[in-house]
Chain A
Amino acid sequence: MSNPVISPSNDKIVFQDVSKFYGEILGVNRVNLSIPQGVTSLVGPNGSGKTTLMNLMTGLVRPTRGRVQVLEYTPDEPEKLFAILGYSTQFDSFPKGLTGFQFVSSYLRLAGNDARTAEKLAWRAIERVNLVEAASRSVASYSKGMRQRIRLAQALCRNPRVLVLDEPLNGLDPLARAEMIALFRAVAAEGRYVIISSHILHEVDAISDQVILLSNGYVVAEGQIHSVRNEIQEHPAQILIRCTRPREFASKLLENEQTIEVRIHNDERGLLVKTRDPDRFYLMLNHMAMNGIEIESVAPADDDVNSVYEYLIGNEEVVR
């Protein structure tokens, strides 16, 4: 993927030629990104640089080279940055002796809120992550999922414009995952920026407006999944067609120059077609349908994060 030329912008999260080295170990290298509003997922295997990007964004680590800008602020000014940004980290440790409620309300007091406002905002955030009943218990007694949720509450409590969430679904049960995904979508729908890191691709597919694919500290692709897929020229697009007479339909398709390969589906009720020009292929399908061929459904078979990831990065340790 070619790196876009980035100009500083006040409505985007911008990484400009950013590199981070931990001694001699590469964190990320020559990252150029411009992240718009909506849900953006950072996808990559362990050690690919997802957390480093998030820590750079939030000033927890400083770039070795380049600059980062989060809307109108730089991470060098935490007092301004965290007024608009909430970060749920992957660090699974908490200040000692605090209850869940105290954890969130103390954070709000640190932000300068008075006791009453802090209490109100803390309860509101705790309610959003469904942890009211356990809020008065010590965080030390929480399960992994509860700790994940209380961190989310902390990140959400000030209703930030930018929400950065490092593996936010880790440790959550399926119901809680669904709730959280709905919550992230709702936050994004309010016009906010939600940056999520994940190595679980089917969840990323469900959540994301755009993805950033990372591998070994490099950004290998960024953008909406569909456009990223379209840019991968060396892998033909795969299209799944459901129809009643697949064999007959397959022979007709092979007469067409856009078709590279046709496979009949195992259940004998569909075809998997490979084409290098999906747009012209879809046009051709429309013609065939109008000429009496019965087609039940047409859907791209590899226009998802899973396939894009496999094409670009290969078979590294990512849960599909």
Chain B
Amino acid sequence: MIRLWWAQVRAVVRLEMKKTFFARRGLWIYILALLPLLLFLGHNFQISRQHAKLQRLASQSERLLSSEDLLSVQPGMTGQDVVARLGKPPQRFHWNDQVQSGNDSFVNIPHESYRYSDGRVDLWVDLAGDKVTNVNLRGGENLGEDTIVFAGVFQFFYLRLAIFFGCLGIFMNLFRGEILDKSLHFYFLAPIRREVLMVGKFVAGLLATCVIFVTSELLQIVVFTANYSPNVRDLYLYHNHGLGAAAAYLGVTILACVGYGAFFLAAGMLFRNPILPAAGILIWEAVNPFLPTLLQKFSVIYYLKALCPVDIPTPPGTPALLALLVSNSDPVSSPVAILGVVTVALLVLYVSSLQVRRMEINYTSE
């Protein structure tokens, strides 16, 4: 019997995959999945242009500079000291400021700016009257800040919007789309248990969403890490839990597809208009942090948030409501979180299996 069900599930998946991947009405899902990738690609493009500029600047220096050389410049030093340490600046700007010294007299104060680079970091040294007044280091690799930005994009755009609406588009159409196309009877006329049909459709939806969103997430991670020099990348991936974080992001993506997929599969069977359940689930997930602890557990985001590898800090002065949304006040352990998502999904799928058994073909009322 199990072998028969498995063969039938595969038959359903085969039929569904083509429809799911190449449906014209699903084009927006690809765009949604690729948006963060485009964001990171754009960021990389901008960074690489900046690097190229700095490389050019570094090559124009009198000598090869290291980051230690750049860091050695301190306020209070004279221009000659700076030139002695870093050589003649490849870019130099100068101007005069007139400062009133008495009632009618003005004094000219010469200002200069030296610009140096080691190829990655941009150093601006401001001098007034031959004294260093300001040292400004720009660029370089700020892994800590970047990982928080990545986590923010993942949690607040990718997870809560892209995957959420992507699952809505794919899973709700598994039954609802067939009803609108008036082709659901094709499945209902086959000697297949309705529950097996439902599982087949769910697996097809899961495969499609996982391929789309996991691939996008993987590419985001590749593009994100490609930004760094090989040394920094190795340090991040192999010595700073980078690989673990990447695996966690991919795992959370898969679990999000499982959880939201189950909800939207059920919604596609229960509701004619997808906007209502989508809005309901979106609001339920959004207000989750403000709900009593028991109710929080009946959502997907509660468990997914606990599985996200990087916590997003709330800067001082953040409004309390926003801080509550960002923070994870009652985190659960990873095994509990994984079990939680799977249990919620199974519960919803069980309800769907009862519904699919009762479904009728009545296209005229749709």
Contact = CB atoms under 8 A, between A and B. Distances in A.
B189 interface: yes
Interface string A51-94: 00001001111100000000000001011111100010101011
B8 A112 contact: yes
Contacts of A62: 358, 360
B19 interface: yes
Contacts of B14: 106, 109
Nearest to A60: B361
Contact of A87 (B189, B192, B196): B189
B191 A94 contact: no
A107 B360 contact: no
B237 to A, nearest CB: 42
B203 to A, nearest CB: 14
A110 B183 contact: no
Given A97-B19, A110-B11, A78 B363 contact: no
A97 B18 CA distance: 9
B190 A82 contact: yes
A79 B189 CA distance: 9
B272 interface: no
Contact of B183 (A23, A81, A94, A114): A94
Interface residues of B, number: 31
Given A80-B191, A81-B191, A91-B363, A112 B4 contact: yes
Given A91-B185, A107-B186, A78 B365 contact: no
Interface string B158-201: 00000000000000000000000111011111111110100000
Majority SS of interface residues in chain A? loop
Contact of A94 (B22, B186, B358): B186
Interface in B333-366: 357-358, 360-363, 365
Given A60-B360, A109-B14, A112-B7, A93 B191 contact: no
B15 A95 contact: yes
Interface in A7-48: 22-23
B19 A110 contact: no
B188 A78 contact: yes
A106 B14 CA distance: 9
B12 interface: yes
Interface string A95-120: 11100000000110111101000000
Given A22-B365, A82-B189, A82-B191, A91 B182 contact: yes
A227 to B, nearest CB: 33
A133 to B, nearest CB: 23
Contacts of B11: 106, 109-110, 112
B190 A107 contact: yes
A158 B190 CA distance: 10
B15 A106 contact: yes
A22 B8 CA distance: 32
A79 B190 CA distance: 7
A151 to B, nearest CB: 10
A205 B186 CA distance: 30
Contact of A114 (B7, B15, B19, B187): B7
21 contacts: A60-B361, A61-B361, A61-B362, A62-B360, A78-B193, A78-B194, A80-B191, A82-B189, A82-B190, A82-B191, A82-B192, A87-B189, A91-B183, A91-B185, A94-B183, A106-B11, A109-B7, A110-B11, A111-B190, A111-B191, A112-B8
Given A89-B185, A97-B18, A106-B15, 11 more contacts: A60-B361, A76-B357, A78-B190, A79-B196, A82-B192, A91-B182, A91-B183, A91-B363, A110-B192, A111-B191, A111-B192
Interface of A: 22-23, 55, 58-62, 76, 78-83, 87, 89, 91, 93-97, 106-107, 109-112, 114, 154, 158
